Amino acid sequence: MTVIATMVDDSPALLAEKVAAQRNRPGYAMDPYFYRSHLVHERELDAIVYRSWLYAAHVSQVPKPGDYVQFEIGEDAIIICRDEAGEVHALMNICRHRGARVCEEKRGNRKTFVCPYHGWVYKLDGSLKAARAMGALEGFEMADYGLKRGRCCVYEGLIFINCDPDAADFEPALDTVGAALAPYDLPAAKVAHSQVYRVEANWKLALENYLECYHCATAHRAYAKLHSIQDLDDRHSEITDNMLARAEEQTGVPGVTLNHYQAYSSSKAFGTDVYHSRYALYDGFLTGSDGGRPVAPLMGRFTGYDGGAGDFQLGPLCFMLNYPDHCVLYRFTPRGIAATDMEIVWFVRGDAEEGKDYDRDALTWLWHHTTQEDEYIITRNSAGVNSHFFEPGPYNPGYESICTDFVAWYLNALVP
């Protein structure tokens, strides 16, 4: 576990000063203060993470009433659960009596959540069902002590949550990329594999690494052999144009080439970031696998390969890279000042059978491999930025322009 020394002279005034100084250096990497300050970390959770739409789970993980999975963010745990009426809820796993966790297992099926401490009982929608002997307290109302809840938005089989009751709805933003997302038929898809990669680095270092592909040619040999995005636009425009010209016909999917950017500074409402664009694999490669060979049956309404992949953003911390035969979801979750969970979820067609229609190792090879490379560079990056003599350098204006936009958006969220 990386230990970051506490800044004993940290203060809201210093935070405001650092934000102002960073705003005066657009196009430069972030001051190490933003990776080291506990005050910043607290404020980020309040002002960014708990106000944003976050991917929590896939509907297939909670198919029946009582099914639940837990989503751990920062020091919190949120229970994503389906009630008897079929509705999905996001319940804070914190007893309303004296705060014990009411559920320990990461997934399962329950009729109720019973706090192990003094036995208060909660229903699947979070409402308090029983609180032993609390009738002794005058004015105690069961209705006042349900588990706290976040909001849920189920879209194309993906369950998103938002802990801010006043947050803008996510659906209108998602609809802007819906035509490109729907053809994968994610509601009927199956989670073939998921894995959490815990990286000992601040979440912004992990995210910034995802937002740029300047590092792809040097850090990701296998990925860079397949994906043209590792080159700047003008260098791969011809293969992109060719792919876009044949995409609809070869995939059988109208709308597959939709290009829409509404993320970070361009987001219409806070925490509702979305984008989609289709980018090309190099000629001869069909999907994101070893050698670019198909690794699973075609998804949803796809009828063929166009040599392209759908690149999505769904909220500020979630991305998908969708190939015609499988989809790869990437989620970044802050877990501490120098700890981030990078979770990858691999989706295949709902009726695909492991061992017959797909091989799990072949399916996950590319992104497992690429993520291990990322873990390595992000951890090195973290060690460097936390060094005494670190001085932030300039982002590359072409390759790292989204990082510049992310930093501007981030500073505005931190100190409006």
- Which residues contact ligand FES (rule: CB under 6 A)? 95, 97-100, 115, 117-120
Residue 98 interacting partner from ligand FES, Fe ion, none (CB closer than 5 to 8 Å by kind): ligand FES
Report the nearest approach of Fe ion to the CB of residue 103 (Å): 34
Cβ proximity to ligand FES, 100 vs 269, nearer residue: 100
Residue 120 interacting partner from ligand FES, Fe ion, none (CB closer than 5 to 8 Å by kind): ligand FES
Report the nearest approach of ligand FES to the CB of residue 72 (Å): 19
- Residues touching Fe ion, count (CB under 5 A): 1
Report the nearest approach of ligand FES to the CB of residue 314 (Å): 34
Reduced 3-state DSSP string for the chain: CCCCCCCCCCCHHHHHHHHHHHHCCCCECCCCHHHHCHHHHHHHHHHCHHHCCEEEEEHHHCCCCCEEEEEEECCEEEEEEECCCCCEEEEECCCCCCCCCCCCCCEEECCCEECCCCCCEECCCCCEEECCCHHHCCCCCHHHHCCCEEEEEEECCEEEEECCCCCCCCHHHHHHHHHHHHHHCHHHCEEEEEEEEEECCCHHHHHHHHHCCCCHHHHCHHHHHHEHHHCCHHHHHHHHHHHHHHHHHHHCCCCCCCCEEECHHHCCCCCCCEEEEEEEECCCCCCCCHHHCCCCCCCCCCCCCCCEEEEEEECCCEEEEECCCCEEEEEEEEEECCEEEEEEEEEECCCCCECCCECHHHHHHHHHHHHHHHHHHHHHHHHHHCCCCCCCCECCCCCCHHHHHHHHHHHHHHCC
Cβ proximity to Fe ion, 80 vs 216, nearer residue: 216
Report the nearest approach of Fe ion to the CB of residue 207 (Å): 11
Are 58 and 186 spatial neighbours (Cβ–Cβ below 8 Å)? yes
Report the nearest approach of ligand FES to the CB of residue 146 (Å): 13
**If binding is defined by CB under 5 A, does position 374 make contact with Fe ion?**
yes
Residue 95 interacting partner from Fe ion, ligand FES, none (CB closer than 5 to 8 Å by kind): ligand FES
Residue 25 interacting partner from ligand FES, Fe ion, none (CB closer than 5 to 8 Å by kind): none
Cβ proximity to ligand FES, 99 vs 398, nearer residue: 99
**If binding is defined by CB under 5 A, does position 375 make contact with Fe ion?**
no
Cβ proximity to ligand FES, 101 vs 107, nearer residue: 101
Report the nearest approach of ligand FES to the CB of residue 101 (Å): 9
Report the nearest approach of ligand FES to the CB of residue 115 (Å): 3
Please choose, out of 64-72, 167-175, 310-318, 371-379, the segment that lies near Fe ion by the rule CB under 5 A. Answer: 371-379
Cβ proximity to ligand FES, 98 vs 221, nearer residue: 98
Residue 117 interacting partner from Fe ion, ligand FES, none (CB closer than 5 to 8 Å by kind): ligand FES
Are 400 and 209 spatial neighbours (Cβ–Cβ below 8 Å)? no
Residue 374 interacting partner from ligand FES, Fe ion, none (CB closer than 5 to 8 Å by kind): Fe ion
Cβ proximity to Fe ion, 374 vs 405, nearer residue: 374
Cβ proximity to ligand FES, 93 vs 277, nearer residue: 93
CA 184 to chain centre: 18
- Residue 367 bridge partners (DSSP): none
Cβ proximity to ligand FES, 100 vs 168, nearer residue: 100
Report the nearest approach of Fe ion to the CB of residue 374 (Å): 4
Contact residues: Fe ion, CB under 5 A: 374
